[in-house]
């Protein structure tokens, strides 16, 4: 006796392996492909016929898996098919909805569904119909930050969508009136979408307009004007700029890993924070604007950056304030190296830069 859908093999019929050649798997597979019923498998041994009776039955109820359904007030379900995730049975079956779908008021409703096969095997399952009021607005996607060159252009709607759980895709508006593409800075565009129930979603998108060389030079000139360098000699001007840098730019990695002099200097001037590369970049721009010949220097392992200036001879200066270890001074090679050694055994490629005596 086997269940419909199960398969039998030669080993299931012949219990002594020495008789396994009396019946073939092909003969058994014919029965495997039959439906419910009683079948005979005939074999002959030493001129005598043997009959094995095989009964195929269906005693298993259908496998019925339901799912919960959520709809909004004012919506309806089509019928039982909305609640069925899967149904399987070896025999033909029917599925019946046992709960009348006539109450679509707000709340949770219990839904009963049965599956019954042609042999009377029956399964009943219960699920839920949740009817809720639409109080949620559309959800935006694609509002990633935008970085654009000064005087560039932006397609504010590209790859942006607003989708509502009830209404699907919704129209949206963009207010970019506060964004000035002609001036470097950080701005925000406002996106708004409203669904058919009146639920509104408003989100802001960050727009960064990149600086250019003119912006950086203007910021440097503002610093120089405030310092009133006037008729100072080149060495005194360089030291005044070092003093300003150490007093006004905090060391930090908020804008770290920017290895573009113009961008790094812009961050240092506008945010008053920078890593050693950013500070050395700002110093380089300042030195250029006051007409002092200079070079940016870095350790052989790129762990620190500073500047060299030609003020009647090459000297080292460092605009980074590091617990007082980098003095406001025109340093020769020996003094510069000693300040680096104070923290770590670091050096620079002496062949790549001028000698500072």
What would the pLDDT profile of 157-209 be if each residue is shown by its tens digit? 999 999 999 999 999 999 999 999 999 999 999 999 999 999 999 999 999 99
CATH topology for the 213-352 domain = C8orf32 fold (3.10.620)
Domains 139-209 and 213-352 share a fold: no
**Contact between residue 152 and residue 181 where contact means Cβ atoms under 8 Å apart:** yes
Structure tokens at 329: 């001074």
Give residue 37's pLDDT: 86
Give residue 20's pLDDT: 66
Q: Classify residue 264 by burial, with Cβ atoms within 10 Å: 0-12, 13-18, 19+.
A: buried
Which residues of the chain register pLDDT less than 70?
Answer: 14-16, 18-20, 256, 324
Domain ranges of the chain: 2-57, 63-132, 139-209, 213-352
Q: Give the CA-trace dihedral at 71, 77, 83, 84, to 10 degrees.
A: -140
Long-range contacts, stretch 98-101, CB < 8 angstroms, 24+ apart: 98/124, 101/76, 101/77, 101/129
Whether the full predicted model's pTM is greater than 0.75, yes or no, is no
Give residue 104's pLDDT: 94
Give residue 50's pLDDT: 79
Give residue 325's pLDDT: 73
Give residue 18's pLDDT: 66
Give residue 32's pLDDT: 75
Give residue 1's pLDDT: 81
CATH topology for the 139-209 domain = Immunoglobulin-like (2.60.40)
Please compute Rg for the chain using Cα positions. Answer: 41
Give residue 16's pLDDT: 65
Evaluate whether the domain defined by 63-132 bears CATH number 2.40.50.100.
no
């Amino acid at each position: 006796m086997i269940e419909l859908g199960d398969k039998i093999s030669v080993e299931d019929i012949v219990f002594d392996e020495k008789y396994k050649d009396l019946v073939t798997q092909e003969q058994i597979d014919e029965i495997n492909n039959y439906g419910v019923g009683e079948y005979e498998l005939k074999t002959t041994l030493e001129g005598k016929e043997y009959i094995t009776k095989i009964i195929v039955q269906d005693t298993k109820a259908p496998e019925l898996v339901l799912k919960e359904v959520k709809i909004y007030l004012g919506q309806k379900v089509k019928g039982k098919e909305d609640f069925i995730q899967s149904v399987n049975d070896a025999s033909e079956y029917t599925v019946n909805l046992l709960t009348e779908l006539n109450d679509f008021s707000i709340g949770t409703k219990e839904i009963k569904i049965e599956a019954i096969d042609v042999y009377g095997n029956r399964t009943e399952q219960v699920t839920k119909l949740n009817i809720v009021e639409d109080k949620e607005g559309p959800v935006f996607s694609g509002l990633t930050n935008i970085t654009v060159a000064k005087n560039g252009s932006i397609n504010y709607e590209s790859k942006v969508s607003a989708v509502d759980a009830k209404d699907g895709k919704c129209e949206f508006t963009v207010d970019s009136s506060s964004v000035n593409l002609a001036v470097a800075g950080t701005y925000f565009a406002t996106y708004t979408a409203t669904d058919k129930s009146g639920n509104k979603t408003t989100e802001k998108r960050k727009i960064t307009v990149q600086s250019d060389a003119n912006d950086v030079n203007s910021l440097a000139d503002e610093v120089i004007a405030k310092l009133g360098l006037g008729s100072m000699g080149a060495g005194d001007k360089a030291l005044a700029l070092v003093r300003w840098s150490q007093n006004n730019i905090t060391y930090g990695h908020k804008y770290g890993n920017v290895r573009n002099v113009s961008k790094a200097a812009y961050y240092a001037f506008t945010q008053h924070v920078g890593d050693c590369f950013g500070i050395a970049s700002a110093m380089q721009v300042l030195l250029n604007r006051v007409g002092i010949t200079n070079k940016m220097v870095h350790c052989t392992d790129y762990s620190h950056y500073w500047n060299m200036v030609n003020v009647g001879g090459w000297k080292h200066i460092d605009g980074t304030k590091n617990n007082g270890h980098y003095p406001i001074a025109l340093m020769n090679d020996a003094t510069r190296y000693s300040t680096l050694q104070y923290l770590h055994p670091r050096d620079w490629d002496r062949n790549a830069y001028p000698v500072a005596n």
